[in-house]
Amino acid sequence: MKKFVIFLLSLIPTTAFGQGSDVSSSSSSAAPSSEASEVAPQTTPMSSPSYDTSHHEAPVASVAMHYNYQFQTSPYGGNRGLMGWSVVPEINITPHIGLQADFTSLYMQGIAVGEKRLLIAAGPRYTLTPRSRFTPFVYGEAGEMRTTTKANDVSDWNPVVRVGIGADFKGKHGIGFQFIPAEYIGEKVEWRNQWNHSFSARAGIVFNLYK
């Protein structure tokens, strides 16, 4: 009996040591996981950046204001250069096809016969890449042009046609730059029954309207 009691007492430290080692091993295995959870960076879902995409849409309408320079062959004799301003409102029927009106005032001073011109015309416009920041276009117009000379203060209204190529450079907030490097203007001078040919270029600011 005494030997049996001694045997039981000898088992108590062994059992306690085994339990301690199990606890320490479990705590040691749990510690790295908790540390890993603390060290692991917190990943948050990335939101796509918000950019101003207005320049990727086709405008529904626009208004351009230009400075003009026109070189003309005058029916009154001699070639002349005129300067002036124009306002061109335009509305788009489709992203590529639109209609525009043209109001241009030109003047010439400092030579023998001064001259003023008022051109009112309208016609179609075709835009090649309406959703691009760089937007080339072509257009054609028909209308009337009034020519007034200082020599006799006579004003004549004559039929006129106008064709040209240009481009829009779209900026922020619907504001851009418009450049028309090549434009032909044909005026039917009725009293001489012949065409007067002019060439012009213009540049200015364009205001685009989006939906």
> Rounded distance, CA 32 to CA 38, Å?
10
Count of Cβ atoms closer than 10 Å to residue 54 Cβ: 15
- What pTM was estimated for this model as a whole? 0.67
pLDDT classification of 58: cutoffs 50, 70, 90? confident
Tell me which of 107-111, 117-121, 153-157 is least confident: 107-111
* CB-based contact 181:166 (threshold 8 Å): yes
> Rounded distance, CA 194 to CA 197, Å?
10
User: To which residue do tokens 């108590």 refer?
Assistant: 12
pLDDT classification of 8: cutoffs 50, 70, 90? low
85 vs 73, which has greater pLDDT?
85
Q: Is the pLDDT of residue 24 over 50?
A: no
Instruction: State the DSSP code for 151.
Output: T
Give 46's Cβ-side CA count (13 Å radius).
2
Q: What is the mean pLDDT of residues 165-190?
A: 93
Which pLDDT score is estimated for 111? Answer: 58
pLDDT classification of 153: cutoffs 50, 70, 90? low
Instruction: State the DSSP code for 152.
Output: T
Which pLDDT score is estimated for 195? Answer: 87
* CB-based contact 60:66 (threshold 8 Å): no
> Rounded distance, CA 155 to CA 132, Å?
43
* Domain at 59-209, CATH class: mainly beta
* pLDDT digits 0-9 by tens, 178-211: 999 999 999 988 777 888 889 999 999 999 999 8
Domain edges within the chain: 1-34, 59-209
| Residue 83 tokens, joined | 């300067």
**Average pLDDT of every residue of the chain:** 79
